[in-house]
Amino acid sequence: MILIIGGGIGGLTLALNLHRAGIRCQVFESAKEIKPLGVGLNILPHAMRELSFLGLESNIAKDAIETRDVSFYNRFGQHIFTETRGRFAGYEWPQYSIHRASLHDVLMKAVYDRLGSDAIKKGHRFKELEQSNEGVVAHFNTEGSCPGVRTYRGCAIVGCDGIKSVVRSSFYEKNDPLIYSGITMWRGITKWPPFLSGSSMVYAGWLETGKVIAYPISKTDDGMHIINWLCEFYCPPRNPKGDWGQKGRIEDFIWSCKEMTFSWLNIPEMIKAAEVILEYPMVDKEPLKKWSFGRVTLLGDAAHPMYPRGSNGAGQSIIDARCLADNLTSECDEVTAFRKYESDRRPKTSAVVHANRSNPPDAILREVYERTGDKPFKELNDVISVDELEALSDQYKKIAGFKLEAVHNNKSPM
């Protein structure tokens, strides 16, 4: 029995992969009740590929928007670059924009359907572990019907307990701080009319003066869209704890986008109509030199917390889950499987952590901002060529593993 600590995106995807491989597992989640927390995220084709193999694509599609294109603008609304995405760009798998809670719900229902009603033990907060040559023991503080302390035994532990992982801190108690990027993000959702192609993702502005990202994540019955938006800029740390649920205040950031009243989207008006505003610091941690300790390993944000930019936080955890399940299937013991999983995934995800710091997918906007000195341009070609724009976009795709050839060449699950 594999003990999965954390029933977030990575933990649940791992449970589904292990079930498919015929490996027994049990998920432990600290939350007593799963609430629809967070806002939107993107599932890129490399992650959708794995979710499709798990038979989840049609359920995801029910409450998501299939992204058609991504467009970049400067803060004056001048168009810089557009590229198609997912199936519209020739991938076999789509790109979806979705509320995190909807994705989580699809995964959770699939886990209950396939693994049974007791597959997720809620109200179980992991505290500490022990291991020997024979197996592992995990200790939990429990809430709910039988509050107290509970202990479970298994053959291995996978820490999927997110950016503040307690499993990780069992091995890295010291010198493992959250590192603030200097950027704070305000995120929210607003019911608003469709814009551009109706399934476009847009990036506008740059971090020195204020950058906005907006994309639809679902449709409403009256023809409107639920738009996920994000407004971010450089500022001193405000919420360094990295709490996904922290409420945000419009007066703290609306000034940064007040002139982004584009003909195709009035950004300040859309933000003023928000149903939810959250504030989150862009934080990550230094990539680790080791994730696997005998019968214990890490997955997702617990292993490689990264800035939530480039749509890779959820995606990389989904890919980790497939890789870990494949190794547990092909190796005859957990220790070897964990070592092999780590040697495949650690260098790749460390590269994404670094790319998200220095060469994110919207580096295009930084280039144009710097070359124009934050002024409107007359001819884009005088500032940057189409070849350079494509090269910048391709560079991130290559590092994050979602270049078309890489996604298509990857083998099907074992």
Min dist CB 287 to ligand FAD, Å, is 15
Q: How far apart are CA 53 and CA 103, in angstroms?
A: 15
- 16 counts as binding ligand FAD under rule CB under 6 A: no
Number of residues that bind ligand FAD (CB under 6 A): 30
**The one among 16, 29, 106, 361 contacting ligand FAD by CB under 6 A:** 29
Q: Do residues 158 and 317 make contact, with C-beta atoms less than 8 angstroms apart?
A: no
**Per CB under 6 A, which of residues 369..398 are in contact with ligand FAD?**
none
Q: Is 161 in the site for ligand FAD (CB under 6 A)?
A: yes
CB of 106 to ligand FAD, least distance (A): 13
The dihedral formed by the CA atoms of 15, 307, 200 and 273, expressed in degrees to the nearest 10: 100
Contact of 291 with 297, CB cutoff 8 Å:
yes
Binds ligand FAD by CB under 6 A, chosen from 123, 162, 287, 310: 162
232 touches ligand FAD by CB under 6 A: no
* Residue 183 in the binding site for ligand FAD (CB under 6 A): no
* Tokens 């791992």, located at residue: 14
Which residues between 292 and 331 bind ligand FAD (CB under 6 A)?
300-302, 308, 313-314, 317
Q: Which regions of 261-389 does DSSP assign to beta strands (E)?
A: 276-284, 296-298
Q: How far is the CB of 198 from ligand FAD (least distance, A)?
A: 22
CA atoms of 373 and 356, how far apart (whole Å) = 23
Q: What angle do CA 224, 51, 281 make, to 5 degrees?
A: 65
**184 near ligand FAD (CB under 6 A):** no
- Using CB under 6 A, pick the residue from 1, 20, 21, 31 that binds ligand FAD: 31
- CA-based nearest residue to 67, from 218, 192, 231: 218
- Is 188 a binding residue for ligand FAD by CB under 6 A? The answer is no
In the bound complex, what is the minimum distance in angstroms from residue 26's beta carbon to ligand FAD? 12
| Residue 231 near ligand FAD by CB under 6 A | no
Does 41 bind ligand FAD (CB under 6 A)? Our answer is: yes
- Sheet of 200-206, strand order: 79-84, 69-73, 200-206, 210-219, 225-234, 179-192, 276-284
Does 341 bind ligand FAD (CB under 6 A)? Our answer is no
Q: Does 126 bind ligand FAD (CB under 6 A)?
A: yes
Applying CB under 6 A, which of residues 4, 18, 19, 28 lies at the interface with ligand FAD? 28
The answer to whether residues 393 and 81 touch, using CB atoms and an 8 Å cutoff, is: yes
Is 8 a residue that touches ligand FAD (CB under 6 A)? yes
Q: How far is the CB of 183 from ligand FAD (least distance, A)?
A: 14
- What is the Cα 189 distance to its own chain's centre? 17
Query: How far is Cα 153 from Cα 329, in angstroms, rounded to an integer?
Result: 21
Is 142 a residue that touches ligand FAD (CB under 6 A)? no
Distance CA 254, CA 340 (A): 47
- Toward ligand FAD, which CB reaches closer, 41 or 384? 41
Secondary structure of 386-411 in the HEC alphabet? HHHHHHHHHHHHHHHCCCHHHHHHCC
**356 contacts ligand FAD (rule: CB under 6 A):** no
One of 4, 15, 39, 64 touching ligand FAD (CB under 6 A): 39
Q: Where are the beta strands (DSSP E) in 225-334?
A: 225-234, 276-284, 296-298
Closer residue to ligand FAD, CB minimum distance, 142 or 372:
142
By CB under 6 A, residue 218 contacts ligand FAD = no
Query: Which stretches of the chain bind ligand FAD, using CB under 6 A?
Result: 5-11, 28-31, 37-39, 41, 100, 125-126, 160-162, 166, 244, 300-302, 308, 313-314, 317
